[in-house]
A and B are shown apart, each in its own frame.
Chain A
Amino acid sequence: MNELKITCLHDKHTALGALMSPFGGFDMPIQYADIVTEHNAVRNCVGVFDVSHMGEVRITGTDAERFVNHIFTNDIAGAEYGKIFYGMMLYPDGGTVDDLLVYKMGENDFFLVINAANIDKDVAWIREQAATFSVTVDHQSDHYGQIAVQGPQAEATLEKVLNIPCAELAFYTFKEIDIDGDHVIVSRTGYTGEDGFEIYASHDTIRTMWDKLIEAGVQPCGLGCRDTLRFEVGLPLYGDELSEDISPIMAGLGFFVKLEKDDFIGKDAVARQKAEGVARKLVGLELADKAIPRHGYEVVTATDDEKVVGVVTTGYHGISVDKSIAMALVDAEYAVLDTPLRIHIRKKFFPATVVKKKFFKKSYKK
């Protein structure tokens, strides 16, 4: 195991007394106050996250658009400048390399945002695929810091505290601005189910912004509530709901896999999965009891303790929904709404019902 990396805001977190823990190879803040306070700040007001651990890769060159469309499941062909796309990179067998955002920066110019834990793997994968294309793959993770300002007050916060006009930015679009000579990307995206923005800039600029936000009283939020927030609105986390073994079709993310576009890596495999059905599917589970399902707990049928038909990928006692809920990968025949199942929690089996994965309604500003 390599030594833990730190973000450009690491000293700020320790000064705020954050509980720190390894995540994706970085020493990251889990919480500053407590998860419930931070979660509710984002749902009801505004919070700021350090997400500088995320990786950035810039793809340019005459084949850039063709290349990105070749490695990415969503369709970026002919996209307008300023658009952002969510999708996945797949292995030929349909397993997921990573889920990512693609920013259209210009003609044959794309900015890819990838998961921290996958940076080395992704960059190697992208470079390997790029060999037969006329593109430049520029790994820029060390240059960019990133903060996410999330919550119903995010827009007002950006405008008032950071003096960044953003009311006109539509969901899943971005703009580039200059702040004291520094190139800054401001995008209306997030991972909480609330309205919000993600800002990419040099370390110095991100540090200045962070200080301004904290001084203005914006709640610093750790990865603890980032997970509870994204989970409640059914957003996947790579490693839990997506992996080398879990395709986007299994995860119910087929919307982001554009089978009608030209060939892309993994297309044949996911097309087959879509046509023939998959062996396991991701579902939501709601428990009647307050016991909490956790990652890795077994899912069994309603009647047979021995018959394991699935596994919990993420589970919590929901903070905004106040129920014990889980996402689980279950055998397809049980992945039907209202199916009664049970989750093995410590020594007991707790009844759970298959429900939609969106436990809590998103509040995006479209």
Chain B
Amino acid sequence: MSKIIDGLFYSESHEYVKVEGNIGYIGITDYAQHELGNVVYVDMPEVDDEVTAGEEFGAVESVKAASDLNSPVSGVVLAVNEALEDEPGLINKDPYANWIIKVELSAPAELDDLMTSGTYQEYIGE
């Protein structure tokens, strides 16, 4: 049973965003990390890059395959999680503690288009 945290916003492509003020921490859900298997590489954008809601901003690679990361929100990248460069498997250990990018939200209203924990729970059907 995948872990889902209340208060986060979830996308259909299994990213989450945790919002603090106008800052969003974006990562992949526990369901996604489990489906992927051992994460061996995370392709992250650069600081100051712009990300757009629904568009690809990087990739997370398991042993077997690469999966695009789609940004749930639009904004500017304030930081990338550098710990993942040396230890990408942290995403398997705790995907919610190990966010991938930190962004400054440019259009907070986009959050309304995302799923709540309850809706996401139904979406993944567990």
Residues of A within 8 A of B (CB): 30-31, 34-36, 224, 228, 290-292, 294, 316-317, 319, 324, 345-346
Contact = CB atoms under 8 A, between A and B. Distances in A.
A36 B66 CA distance: 16
Nearest to B59: A346
A31 to B, nearest CB: 7
Given A292-B66, A346-B43, A34 B61 contact: no
Nearest to A33: B37
A226 to B, nearest CB: 12
Contact of A224 (B43, B59, B61, B63): B63
A324 B85 CA distance: 14
A36 B38 contact: yes
A228 B63 CA distance: 8
Interface in B15-50: 37-38, 40-41, 43
B43 A291 contact: yes
Nearest to B65: A294
Contact of B41 (A35, A228, A291): A291
Interface of B: 37-38, 40-41, 43, 59, 61-66, 85
Given A35-B37, A294-B66, A346-B59, 10 more contacts: A35-B38, A35-B63, A35-B64, A36-B38, A228-B63, A292-B61, A317-B41, A324-B41, A346-B43, A346-B66
Closest 3 CB pairs of A and B: A317-B40, A35-B63, A36-B38
B63 A316 contact: yes
B41 A31 contact: no
A344 to B, nearest CB: 13
Contact of B63 (A36, A290, A345): A36
A292 B40 contact: yes
12 contacts: A31-B37, A35-B37, A35-B38, A35-B62, A224-B37, A224-B64, A292-B40, A292-B41, A317-B40, A317-B41, A317-B61, A346-B43
B64 to A, nearest CB: 6
Nearest to A224: B64
Contacts of A317: 40-41, 61, 63
Contacts of A291: 41, 43
Contacts of B41: 290-292, 317, 324
Contacts of B37: 31, 34-35, 224
A35 B63 CA distance: 7
A30 B38 CA distance: 13
Contacts of B38: 34-36
A222 B29 CA distance: 25
Nearest to B35: A19
A103 to B, nearest CB: 32
B63 to A, nearest CB: 4
A119 B59 CA distance: 36
A294 B65 CA distance: 8
Nearest to B40: A317
Contacts of A345: 43
A290 B60 CA distance: 12
A7 B37 CA distance: 24
A316 B66 CA distance: 10
Nearest to B64: A224
A82 B40 CA distance: 42
Contacts of A294: 65-66
A30 B61 contact: no
B66 A319 contact: no
Contacts of A224: 37, 63-64
A192 to B, nearest CB: 15
Given A36-B38, A291-B41, A292-B40, A319 B63 contact: yes
A292 B40 CA distance: 9
A290 B37 CA distance: 17
Contacts of B65: 294
